[in-house]
Chains A and B, each alone.
Chain A
């Protein structure tokens, strides 16, 4: 079963930035790119259990704070190892200034 969850206000995330979002015992990362589009992936790096929200967003990529794996957060794909597994992504939509995530 998937549900649309109200994750945060669209202003809670700066342009080209990321926040952590915890829900139902799971952790996610929600991104806003510099074109003000919103994306959501698993919150933890696939290399080690490290919160990606502490990493650096550049354009459509997130660089893990720990060992610098780079993922494309629009697709979840690894761009640069050490991580070898892609991130899961989740659909997002902005409604009335709220970022909704389908998880």
Chain B
């Protein structure tokens, strides 16, 4: 048997498996995941009350691509010397090459162990069923998952409080101008947001604040970040550095083993980064698959992320230096675009927000300019009368 084995059937692992076939790989491809469900999309879990997980691919697609999908199969050990994976039921799977795509899991701080967290369809069912009219919902963390859950709970008629330790929400990666618009919208919708508010302890129904106040809820959800699932890689001896460390081809410190998606850290424009992004997981899975088959192409995809809250969509392309200067492109119509240039004058990051997909097209153009590291005068980019697409053609 052997061939290529992919550990983790999330967005990254599934994309990698299909890419191997698209590129003409004919040997066995095995895709293993601990979750029992057919691989599904996680983003809808925090965005809709009707929690119907959408499959990434239909069951037939795995069959016709001859991808052996082993669901409900927990891997307990990676043996690099023997090129095998050991399974919780004692089984063993051989590999010629391995892609580790184990993703990430919710972080919990000490004292919060009993709060609900959201990563899987089962978590979602448990949480969303509690979002009922008048229910008191406490959310720890004003990041994407916390705020999306807050919007979903509010739309269900719940009384929602978001507790954020930092001075502002979305403090990781989103410019303050855009975060302020998000916060204003939540406040208008009746979500209570407490910033600068530390949590010392929390459980299923209580959040204890640093100033001694105890807040009571019907459900408490913690959305305070994610930690990469690196333990198996680490125990196997693969180098880890805020994720499984990989090179530009997504190869780990073992030449037969690759890693991609939320579990890996890679070099992007001079910095080692780890992303938690749906599209990045797919792009990296596809790139790693090609690299496993010998492609020497350099990964150039710009990090891109979106979030839906109420009727607003926020998109971020590139990575912001939040300490650096920001420029605003005032597009009117309830949309706002903020961007940044690097010290060399190349456009390096852009974020946009607006109702529905109003800001999407401009962000896509900016994403392409970022990928090409286009030099641009910020005052020209900021001028809403300048057609950005022309810059793309230039």
Contacts and interface: CB of A to CB of B under 8 A. Distances in A.
B131 interface: no
B278 A65 contact: no
A65 B361 contact: yes
A56 B278 contact: no
A16 B361 CA distance: 13
B15 interface: yes
B134 interface: no
B364 A84 contact: no
A9 B61 CA distance: 41
Interface string B350-379: 000000111011001100000000000000
Nearest to A17: B389
Contact of A65 (B18, B61, B304, B357): B357
Most buried by A among B15, B279, B304, B360: B360
**How many A residues are at the interface, by size bracket?**
10 to 19
B279 A66 contact: no
B282 A56 contact: no
Nearest to B313: A66
Contact of B364 (A50, A55, A81): A55
A77 interface: no
A58 B6 CA distance: 33
Given A66-B357, A67-B306, 17 more contacts: A16-B389, A50-B357, A54-B357, A55-B357, A55-B361, A55-B364, A56-B360, A56-B364, A58-B392, A63-B364, A65-B357, A65-B364, A66-B306, A66-B313, A68-B279, A68-B304, A82-B56
Contacts of B61: 84
Interface string A41-79: 000000000110011101000010111100000000000
A54 B364 contact: no
Interface residues of B, number: 22
A67 B278 CA distance: 9
B27 interface: no
B57 interface: yes
A-B pairs with lowest CB-CB distance, top 3: A65-B360, A65-B357, A54-B357
6 contacts: A54-B360, A55-B357, A55-B364, A65-B361, A66-B306, A81-B15
A56 B361 contact: yes
A44 B364 CA distance: 18
Contacts of B389: 16
Interface in B156-207: none
Nearest to A52: B357
A51 B306 contact: no
A50 B313 CA distance: 13
Nearest to B308: A66
A31 B100 CA distance: 41
A54 B356 CA distance: 10
A84 B282 CA distance: 14
A11 B278 CA distance: 38
Interface string B48-63: 0000000011100100
A82 B281 CA distance: 12
Contacts of A68: 279, 304, 364
Interface in B114-168: none
A59 B389 CA distance: 12
A67 B279 contact: yes
Contacts of A55: 357, 360-361, 364
A81 B357 contact: no
Contacts of B306: 66-67
Nearest to A34: B393
A60 to B, nearest CB: 15
Contacts of B282: 81-82
